[in-house]
């Protein structure tokens, strides 16, 4: 993956999700999508779009804050949705993310800044609050 997409403004959660859906066809097994943004920014909405774009059912997509990792199957590739919000940096090392990213699916990681060992070739998604339901979404490292 390489490249930088221009920042995109979204007016609501559905538009944030659509950006994830548009990214999904460019992803291959083993790709990692690192998500950054404050609480409530729309990271899970973006992952919902990824799931839709991969052909996985989206009604099950929710923030895995308490389960840490959720797997969504039924699409072109499995999608592993990871949430590091409740973990300290040292606890992240015990999750086995290296094994997960070397698997057969796409791995989307919320609160990725807590993972010291994140891959340099990962796709990075920055979601910024622009007031009310508006967001600014920047995607880098994607081949789109």
pTM, rounded to two decimals: 0.89
DSSP assignment letter at 45: H
Mean pLDDT of the chain: 87
Q: What is the pLDDT of residues 80-116, one digit of tens each?
A: 999 999 888 778 877 878 888 888 899 999 999 999 8
Task: Give me the pLDDT at residue 55, please.
Answer: 93
Q: What is the pLDDT of residues 32-58, one digit of tens each?
A: 999 999 998 999 999 999 999 999 988
Task: Give me the pLDDT at residue 102, please.
Answer: 83
**Is 60 exceeded by the pLDDT of residue 130?**
yes
Residue with tokens 């990824």: 50
Residue 126 CB burial class (10 angstroms; 0-12, 13-18, ≥19): middle
């Amino acid at each position: 993956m390489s490249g930088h997409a221009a920042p995109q403004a979204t007016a609501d959660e559905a538009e944030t999700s659509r950006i994830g859906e548009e990214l999904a066809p460019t992803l291959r097994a083993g790709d990692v999508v690192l998500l950054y943004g404050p609480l409530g920014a729309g990271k899970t909405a973006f992952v919902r779009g990824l799931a839709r774009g991969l052909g996985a059912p989206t009604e099950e997509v929710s923030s895995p804050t308490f389960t840490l990792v959720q797997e969504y199957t039924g699409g072109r590739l499995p999608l592993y949705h990871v949430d590091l919000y409740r973990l300290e940096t040292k606890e992240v090392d015990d999750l086995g993310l290296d094994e997960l990213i070397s698997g057969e699916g796409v791995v989307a990681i919320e609160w990725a800044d807590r993972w010291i060992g994140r891959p340099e070739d990962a796709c990075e998604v920055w979601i910024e609050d622009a007031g009310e339901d508006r967001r600014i979404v920047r995607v880098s490292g994607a081949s789109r």
